[in-house]
Amino acid sequence: MKDIENRTDIILLVDRFYSKVQDNQTIGPIFTQVAQVDWSHHLPKMYDFWESILFGKAIYKGNPMLTHFSLNQQAPLKEEEFKTWKMIFFNTVDELFAGANAETIKQKAQSIADLMHFKINSPQSKINII
> pTM here?
0.90
H-type helices in 1-130, by residue range? Answer: 7-23, 28-29, 39-55, 64-74, 79-96, 100-121
pLDDT at residue 104 tops 60: yes
Arithmetic mean of pLDDT over the chain: 92
pLDDT digits (tens, 9 = 90+) for 9-52: 999 999 999 999 999 999 999 999 999 999 999 999 999 999 99
d(CA 103, CA 110): 11
d(CA 95, CA 21): 15
d(CA 4, CA 102): 6
Report yes or no: 31 and 21 within 8 Å, Cβ to Cβ: yes
